[in-house]
Every structure is written in structure tokens, then in C-alpha cells.
């Protein structure tokens, strides 16, 4: 199994060290894992799982904000709607 795994990595042109560096960089971007000390080993699978969770949460937040913006813009008579429209057209 490990032979197959190393062959596929070699054919993709990325080394295991490069993958590990990318996982560390990704970990530093995640709020849940950012404050982990270097001595605290976090598995690559946990980093990837947290990345998926973070992306899902960002999608939900974008959806919620889009919905709120639509509601504000639907009320055409309000000063807030006028302000938002002026900001969007700049």
C-alpha cells in the first residue's frame, strides 16, 4: 500500500514534505487550529476536517448575509436601502 501511495505522490510531482508544509500553512489559516502550538501535533485529517467545517460555515454566513441584504434592498423606501444601493454602484 505504501508503495502505491509513494508512486502516486511521485507522479503528481509533490513530495511528502511539501504536503506537510501545505497542511501547516492551512492549519495557520483556521481559527479553530491557529492557536495550536507547533509542539501540539495536529493530524492532517483533523486539519482537512476543520477546513471543510470552516468552509461550510463561511458558506452559511455568506447565505445569511445575502438574505439580509436582499431583505434590506426589498424595502425600497428606506434610507438604509438607498445607502446600500449607492455603495453597491460605486
Give the model confidence (pLDDT) of 20-76 as tens digits.
Answer: 999 999 999 998 888 766 657 889 999 999 999 999 999 999 999 999 888 888 877
**CATH among 4.10.280.10, 3.40.630.30, 1.20.1740.10, 3.40.50.300 for 14-87:** 4.10.280.10
The pLDDT of residue 6 is 52
Whether pLDDT at 12 is above 50: yes
**Which of 21-59 are b and which e, b meaning 16 or more Cβ less than 10 Å from the residue's Cβ?**
eebeebbeebebbeeeeeeeebeeebbeebbeebeeeee
For residues 18 and 2, the model is more confident at: 18
pTM: 0.67
Whether pLDDT at 8 is above 90: no
Amino acid at each position: 500500500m505504501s508503495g502505491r501511495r509513494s508512486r502516486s505522490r511521485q507522479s503528481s510531482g509533490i513530495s511528502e514534505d511539501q504536503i506537510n508544509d501545505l497542511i501547516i500553512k492551512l492549519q495557520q489559516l483556521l481559527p479553530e487550529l491557529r492557536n495550536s502550538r507547533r509542539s501540539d501535533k495536529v493530524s492532517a485529517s483533523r486539519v482537512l476536517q476543520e477546513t471543510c467545517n470552516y468552509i461550510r460555515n463561511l458558506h452559511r454566513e455568506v447565505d445569511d448575509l445575502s438574505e439580509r441584504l436582499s431583505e434590506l434592498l426589498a424595502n425600497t423606501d428606506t434610507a438604509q436601502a438607498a445607502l446600500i444601493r449607492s455603495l453597491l454602484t460605486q
